[in-house]
């Protein structure tokens, strides 16, 4: 999963143990007080510096006396008991079970440790595990409203109250852009992904909406624009499998909001959605060939990638207009999920 810096966001779980920009080693146990009625505990684990990195979630639903274990957002196992949990208070220790200490410490990495005082449903658990970033641009900020707190940075941008959903962001200068970094799954070959955004362009004769690169300057060892306009003003998306995998959509209206989404999985290939409707798909399935390093998405500009990165049909350059509700997922969204995003 992508790593993140921590900052104030729209919501925080009841107890949250923030980590720094890298996975932390789990040596000293961290005590947390738990009150048991409805509860959920979640964390990310991994071996030091290696994949796979796995998100685990444990849920106890007091109303049904049922325990659930989720792995990477999907139910792995559940069990119901004849009666309720009898504990009233206690301490939650992370990294050891205090049996035969100090010889049984967890040997690996932990990140994004969270405790919730309620039982989340399956949809919420899946979103927690796969929603990599969600920048709503509300409250005039680049704060991530998703679970990983991957806040954005940028330059030469402004906010408008006339967004598609509440406030939005406007890019109008020749070097305007927004970035999020440390996107680990987008650097993993074959891993499914989805990106979605509302756009309100003032010009569509070329321009980059989303640029994916291994470096923050838009270049590095791996870089392509993944969403933008052709020279004819058509919306286009791009992926990579030893060469560009391109899908071209319609010409979008200027000064009007249009929802655009791109999804990928090894079983379905690449798909383009415009205003919630599937507009095209790759002619065959393929394996997304990634960089093997954490990636950066730049909104509105390809920066130094112009003339450097493989481009497909997208004419790289400055995007002019407004952006809203930017989302990144580490899974392929279904058609119904994309439709829901396009019809808030």
Q: What is the pLDDT of residues 299-337, one digit of tens each?
A: 999 999 999 999 999 999 999 999 999 999 999 999 999
**DSSP label at 102?**
T
DSSP classification of residue 309 = S
| 152-342 matches 15-128 in CATH topology | yes
For residue 270, count other CB atoms closer than 10 A to its CB.
Answer: 25
Task: Count how many Cα atoms sit within 13 Å of the Cα of residue 318 in the half-sphere of its side chain.
Answer: 14
pLDDT of residue 39: 61
Judge whether 237 and 244 are in contact, CB under 8 Å.
no
- pLDDT, residue 36, reads 46
Residue boundaries of the structural domains of the chain: 15-128, 152-342
Closest CA to 127 of 24, 48, 40, 188: 40
pLDDT of the residue at 157: 97
DSSP 98: S
Q: What pLDDT is stored for residue 52 in this prediction?
A: 59
Pair of tokens at residue 244: 């560009």
Low-confidence ranges of the chain (pLDDT < 50): 1-36
The CA-CA-CA angle for residues 250, 270, 341, to 5°, reads 65
Rounded to 5°, angle at Cα 99 from 97 and 103: 95
Domain 152-342 has CATH 2.60.120.200: yes
Give the model's pLDDT for residue 110. Answer: 80
> What pLDDT score does 3 carry?
27
Task: Tell whether domain 15-128 is in CATH 2.60.120.620.
Answer: no
Cβ-based neighbours of 334, under 8 Å, separated by 6 or more: none
């Amino acid at each position: 999963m992508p790593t993140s810096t921590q900052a104030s966001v729209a919501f925080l779980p009841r107890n949250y143990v923030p980590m720094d920009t890298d996975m932390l080693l789990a040596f000293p146990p961290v005590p947390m007080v738990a009150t048991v009625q409805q509860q959920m505990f979640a964390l990310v684990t991994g071996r030091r510096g290696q994949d796979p990195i796995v998100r685990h979630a444990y849920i106890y639903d007091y109303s049904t006396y049922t325990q659930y274990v989720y792995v990477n957002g999907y139910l792995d196992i559940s069990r119901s008991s004849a009666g309720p949990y009898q504990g009233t208070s206690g301490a939650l220790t992370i990294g050891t079970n205090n049996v035969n200490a100090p010889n049984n410490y967890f040997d690996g990495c932990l990140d994004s440790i969270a405790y919730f005082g309620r039982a989340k449903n399956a949809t919420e658990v899946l979103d927690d595990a796969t929603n990599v970033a969600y920048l709503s641009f509300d409250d005039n900020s680049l704060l991530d409203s998703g679970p990983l707190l991957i806040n954005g940075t940028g330059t030469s941008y402004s906010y408008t109250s006339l967004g598609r959903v509440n406030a939005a962001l406007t890019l109008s200068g020749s070097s305007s852009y927004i970035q999020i970094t440390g996107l680990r799954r987008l650097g993993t070959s074959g891993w499914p992904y989805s990106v979605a955004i509302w756009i309100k362009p003032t010009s569509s004769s070329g321009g980059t909406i989303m640029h994916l690169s291994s470096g923050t300057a838009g270049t590095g060892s791996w870089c392509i624009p993944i969403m933008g306009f052709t020279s004819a003003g058509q919306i286009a998306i791009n992926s990579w499998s030893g060469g560009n995998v391109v899908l071209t959509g319609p010409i979008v209206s200027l000064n009007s909001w249009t929802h655009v989404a791109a999804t990928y999985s090894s079983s379905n290939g690449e798909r383009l959605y415009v205003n919630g409707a599937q507009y095209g798909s790759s002619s065959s399935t393929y394996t997304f060939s990634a960089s093997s390093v954490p990636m950066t998405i730049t909104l509105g500009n390809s920066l130094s990638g112009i003339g450097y990165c493989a481009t497909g049909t997208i004419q790289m350059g400055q995007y002019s207009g407004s952006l809203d509700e930017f989302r990144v997922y580490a899974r392929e969204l279904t058609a119904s999920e994309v439709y829901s995003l396009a019809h808030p």
